[in-house]
Amino acid sequence: AYSDRRVKENIITIANALEKTLQLRGVFYNRTDKDDKSQKVGVIAQEMEEVLPQVVSASENGTKHVAYGNIIGTLIEAIKELKQEIEELKSKSCNCNCK
């Protein structure tokens, strides 16, 4: 993962990250193409592609892959949006002169 600012340009903060996050679905699943049938946790690439196409790629045979680490930026911004909403609600409730 290239995180160094020196190798990036056109840097834009993710807008509406909470809205995007709320469209994502975390799932439990079992793989059908592996001998390991233990339950896994993750997302469905086709669903993710509808919300964050930047994190989905496809192999030559068409199998879709998700770069899970690339989802983190959206989650960080969603948490910050929630924090701002919480702070706004707190300030409104504190200004009501209630005891």
- pLDDT for residue 99: 54
**Dist. CA 70–CA 54, nearest whole Å:** 8
Question: How does pLDDT run across 15-59, given as a tens digit for each residue?
Answer: 999 999 999 999 999 999 999 999 999 999 999 999 999 999 999
The residue to which tokens 């840097």 are assigned: 11
- Give the count of beta carbons closer than 10 Å to the beta carbon of residue 89: 10
Sign of the torsion formed by the C-alpha atoms of 11, 17, 23 and 25: positive
